[in-house]
Structure 1
Amino acid sequence: MSDSTHDSVMPTRPGGAFPLAGREVARVGYGTMQLPRMSDPDAAREVLRRAYELGVNHFDTAHFYGDGTANRYLAETLGGKADVVIVTKLGARPPARGPMPLVPAQRPEQLRAQVHDNLRSLKAERLDVVNMRRIAPGIFPLPPSQMVRFDDQVAEMVALREQGLIGHIGLSTVSAAELRAALPAGIASVQNRYSLVSRGHEPALEIARAENIAWVPYFPLGGAFPGLAKVTHEPAVQQVAREIGASPVQVGLAWLLQHAPNTLLIPGTTSLAHLEQNVEAGAVVLSAEQVSRLDAVRPAAGVRGFLNRMRRP
């Protein structure tokens, strides 16, 4: 390998491996969203180093995580590692104020500008994989300037790839119909909200599975916003955890891994202990009977109700 500091023996990949961006990545990866909250930059870098030592080589990030802070930690800690795949995202930015968790940035020129933001903070000449976050009209309160045709967004991503600024195109928060329409462009990954208690995107998952596209669920344990169901609160999850001597978090993550072979997880944490527990979820094996009981958990309502509450004065 070009990285002389990398061990000659390939580390065990947590949860096994799946192809992404031309490399085999661990099915249990790491999401960097929480890193900018850490007051000690050295401690943040240590979390990344430890993840890599444990075999994690798939890292999910975005320039808008701390205005480039998470990206800079990645560049400083793991830049140059030949086996590492860094997946960035664009299509939204943090709000200056207000209740909404993000502000749409959907226009093609905004997508391009965010690619350059990520290149700069990652100190990279090309981004491995870029997930274009689709915010469709009717799902989120969009001003007219942000009501952009999906075809125009995909065309911009293809142009960025042809220009060598990105290696592979990913999509996020897309419907099954949008994913199918984008397949001719060549899609490497899909990052949608999905968990044991949130399975509304099952049709998109089925397409991704059939096309050997990486499926990367965000909010894999549910409960991202107040009032939304949490996987760890489900009695069936707690019971299975007791049976196998694992935590409810590990059971929720293990169910995702066993549900679809193309699933890649990106749980994030600022705790080394929690990081190790998340990685250990890759070794948790659920019996067919336990999977059947978990499959029977009734998925909760979607996030639309939360967004409607946020729109109220």
Structure 2
Amino acid sequence: MPSSAHASAEYTATGAPRPGGAGTLGAHTVSRIGYGAMQLERLHADRRAAVALLRRAIELGADHLDTARFYGDGFVNEVIREALRPGDGVVVVSKVGADPDPDGPLPLRPAQRPEQLRASVEDNLASLGLEQIPVVNLRRLDTGPGLRAEGDQVVGLDDQLAVMTALRDEGKIGAIGLSAVTLDGLRRALPAGIVCVQNSYSLASRGDEEMLRLCAAEGIAWVPFFPLGGAFPGVPKVTEQPAVTAAAGSLGCTPGQVGLAWLLHHAPNVLLIPGTADPGHLAENIAAGAIALDEAARASLDALGTRPGEAPRD
């Protein structure tokens, strides 16, 4: 599985135009709209459909692929291994910090200890069929939504970064990212050479604005998960905001596309990895990269995420 060495700013390695244009992920040039593979788990009963959907994502220009060994207890990684071909130039990004727990109350459990992080990298390498994973995100449990660390799973960031750096030095991972990290944690981790941050963030939920700006200043990709919000109780849904539906009506697109387009316009280091198990929805997500927001639409959308008493900033 080659890197993106033969890709260009305008086109992927397969010759597809880059949806959303080109972005930077560590040493790689990738399309600013990639694909989050978690939803492939929904196609567990139809593996052929899962492979076909992933192939379609690549055909449409998504060459940044986000996964984890704990997605579908390895099913998603197996689909990726089957679907990718030499010459695709796809940059695979996985994550560690949790392990599959198919019989537990949640399908995953914390795996924060250094030896567990190393074992998770090895499991990802085996299930993906790779000698090196281009980027691996360390999924911290400092901030929500989702799992929290307790007991022996409360591990210092420095200890975790030490094993991640060792894995990079050994060539098993190409670069280190962070997920669900605090602003202080990111600042402490900068000397380790962080290439991306994955935190929950959307137009309607912008509590990490200061972290996004730090990432932009440091050349770190900002890869929001739940980019349309609403995945957990209390997290606002972008598609239900009146300003978003109004913009969608005026632009002739869907509210979801408006939410994704706003993220691309908001900061140049934003890379998107929307996930879906539906081919039509996949095409809509990719098409969001071509949506231009006029000044009036951007002003109304920017104000939506502004805290009381705070002026929008660009």
**TM value normalised by structure 1:** 0.89
Selected match of 1:161 from 168, 175, 182: 168
Structure 1 pair 48–82 and aligned structure 2 pair: CA distance change class (3 A):
closer
Structure 1 pair 299–47 and aligned structure 2 pair: CA distance change class (3 A):
farther
Q: Deviations over 1:265-309 (max 9, x none)?
A: 001111111000000000011012211101111479xxxxxxxxx
Distance in 2 separating the partners of 1:231 and 1:8:
33
Match of 1:309 in 2: none
Distance in 2 separating the partners of 1:159 and 1:114:
14
- Runs of 5+ consecutive residues of structure 1 not aligned to the other structure: 301-313
Q: Is the 8 A contact 1:198 1:299 kept in 2?
A: no
Q: Deviations over 1:7-59 (max 9, x none)?
A: 98732100001122422100000011011221211110111111111111000
Write out aligned runs for 1:1-313 (5 A): 10-38=15-43, 39-81=45-87, 83-95=89-101, 96-98=103-105, 102-136=108-142, 141-298=148-305
Could you say what the CA RMSD is over the residues aligned between the two structures, in angstroms?
Answer: 2.2
Segments of 4+ in structure 1 off by > 2 A? 6-10, 79-82, 93-98, 100-103, 136-143
Q: CA deviation at 1:152?
A: 0.7
Aligned length: 297
Match of 1:311 in 2: none
Q: Is the 8 A contact 1:137 1:147 kept in 2?
A: no
Q: CA deviation at 1:254?
A: 0.3
Distance in 1 separating the partners of 2:14 and 2:46:
31
Q: Deviations over 1:127-159 (max 9, x none)?
A: 110000111289964322011111111111101
Q: Deviations over 1:102-128 (max 9, x none)?
A: 422111111101001100100011111
Structure 1 pair 197–262 and aligned structure 2 pair: CA distance change class (3 A):
same
Q: Which amino acid aligns with 2:98?
A: A
Indicate the larger mover: 82-91 or 246-255: 82-91
Structure 1 pair 101–291 and aligned structure 2 pair: CA distance change class (3 A):
farther
- Runs of 5+ consecutive residues of structure 2 not aligned to the other structure: 308-314
Q: CA deviation at 1:225?
A: 1.7
